[in-house]
Chain A
């Protein structure tokens, strides 16, 4: 029997329409708008000003603070403005807008497709290179990778888990990357193992990606210590804690880091970016984005430069179908509907999903029938119905006691509710409020 996590979980229709679509490169857009805050933590400080000429791969934003990441230019051209640009939530954030002129790359970047495996760098040098390349978790959480690789004092990782689960329906970017760049991912994994000082790594892939499993298994021959673990298809297995539970059977305590149980988890996309950064000197300036939808002409996996607008990506895949109700950045479960199509692709954009109007609306909300499906579906063992009610009543102390901060916002509760109650909407708000209260208590 295939391994999986124990508690909760759901299995939405997979709809992986673009699973066989080869990764294509999106032609260079005319303008890119690169936000300075594409990661969890403090936004980077812009280093360029209006009128500056930049090359592809040039550092344009310096990390400010401990939890932060560098930002590089994804194109060559002229900076037209450094200004407030709206992000996916519609709120303006500092960003650099660059007019594309040609495609001149920084000299140190090796653009040849040959695989480079040998690496003479020591562990800490690899971490430095990863930091310099501005690499963040590419699964969507966008936590700066270099911080993850240096566990807090007294803690030691024993196992690196590479997340190739891609449990979100519709998305296929990681799947294609594993099929097409399996050896590069493994070299990246090897580098991450060296940086962490671990001997073992395990790549977790869900059973619905047979081609990726085959390719990765084939490629692991010749890489010592790396194994592939086929997992049962269940959402949200791509969650860090769920994946650790599925692969090792260990449970990360509430509020603790995965390294507390000796594990570090990285996405396959991150492993690939690490390979490119360390072996090819290429900073994180492009990523694979799945663009898909029922009515979309050509569901695809595209290699997109950071800062390209969603509109550009959709147009290349056949244009916005008539009757589109929502455009979701990310997958259907955890992704967010965007307020405008001018929103740029960032380091964490794993997909663009176009939902037809008749499917994107909400069902009318009915009274809770106490069926407890939300509680059975919650992978964190919380009681979503209770969290929602307490949030509605603004009983923040009780919301905190009910462990709202452990919620991973996977949406399994709202998905499984037969009364279409907006559980996650309320819980997310409660989590934000409790988060504020907890932070103000610390200061």
Chain B
């Protein structure tokens, strides 16, 4: 009884030791030499694996940073400038500085502003609807309201508002990884410059149709009247196909465009309330 127990222990210990020795030599022979800096860089990254940098995850991005030996084209939007400065100091390189950005949904076609003209009862994803037809409202450019953008967000930063039927971005949580930008089949979401106090001014419309049909489909559609373009002193506004666009890098948040917009297609967020109404009308007349 005792002898067989000892026999078992000795055999197992022998196999274990032999395997250990073999494994040791195999591991030495087939060792993968990896730059230790990759691990350090990966630790300095946020570890969200969101893919916002364009790589498959934080590890892949770290590998790219070490391999490229130049950070000119590499940027982690989640870590931002601080994160990239950390990476740069590890590698002894210079990181590009980028203005922090935030996702902005450029559609204000709420249920109230944009009446439905038909009803869809198929699979509730924006991608499938977009592939099938123009959508439930008369505006083929607007939000489809199924929340593909919310599904892809890794940071819990974008949610559908059940009242308006539109997605809303929580600025503090948004890391500008750009997942929602890719997910939106209507190209409504844009990464815009993040201003102090989360102030924003943007054209909340992508409708390229002429004024009449655009307005018929949605009360707050941009009709391409160019009034904002004329009033802007900073060349921040460009006119596309019956549509204005405000470049967030050039915009100085003067709010003049908001005042002149006849359809309220330009939206201001995060500003203190304006003075009494008559004053506004007066300025409008002056501007015209």
Count how many chain B residues have C-beta atoms less than 8 Å from C-beta atoms of the other chain: 14
Chain A residues with a Cβ under 8 A of chain B: 84, 86, 88-92, 336, 339-340, 361-362, 422, 425-426, 428-429, 432
Q: Is the CB of A339 within 8 A of B131?
A: no
Residues of B within 8 A of A340 (CB): 117-118
Chain B residues with a Cβ under 8 A of chain A: 117-118, 121-123, 127-128, 131-135, 140, 209
**Given A91-B133, A428-B131, A362:B117 Cβ within 8 A:** no
Shortest B151–chain A CB gap in Å is 11
Expressed in whole angstroms, the Cα–Cα distance for A336 and B122 within the complex equals 12
Q: Is the CB of A339 within 8 A of B134?
A: yes
Shortest A333–chain B CB gap in Å is 15
Residues of B within 8 A of A88 (CB): 133
Q: Is the CB of B121 within 8 A of A361?
A: yes
Expressed in whole angstroms, the Cα–Cα distance for A336 and B131 within the complex equals 13
Shortest B161–chain A CB gap in Å is 24
* Cβ-closest chain B residue relative to A431: B131
Shortest A145–chain B CB gap in Å is 28
Q: Is the CB of A425 within 8 A of B133?
A: no
Q: Is the CB of B123 within 8 A of A86?
A: no
Q: Contacting B134 at CB < 8 Å: which of A90, A336, A362?
A: A90
Q: Is the CB of A339 within 8 A of B133?
A: yes
Residues of A within 8 A of B134 (CB): 86, 89-91, 339
Q: Is the CB of A426 within 8 A of B135?
A: no
* Cβ-closest chain B residue relative to A327: B118
**A86, A88, A90, A432 — which one has the most chain B CB atoms within 10 A of its CB?**
A90
Expressed in whole angstroms, the Cα–Cα distance for A91 and B118 within the complex equals 14
**Given A90-B135, A90-B140, A91-B140, A426:B117 Cβ within 8 A:** no
Expressed in whole angstroms, the Cα–Cα distance for A441 and B132 within the complex equals 24
Q: Is the CB of B121 within 8 A of A422?
A: no
Residues of A within 8 A of B127 (CB): 429
Shortest B179–chain A CB gap in Å is 13
Q: Contacting A362 at CB < 8 Å: which of B122, B128, B140?
A: B122
Q: Contacting B128 at CB < 8 Å: which of A92, A336, A425?
A: A425
Shortest A327–chain B CB gap in Å is 10
Q: Is the CB of B121 within 8 A of A426?
A: no
Q: Is the CB of B128 within 8 A of A429?
A: yes
Residues of A within 8 A of B131 (CB): 428-429, 432
Q: Contacting A339 at CB < 8 Å: which of B117, B123, B209?
A: B117
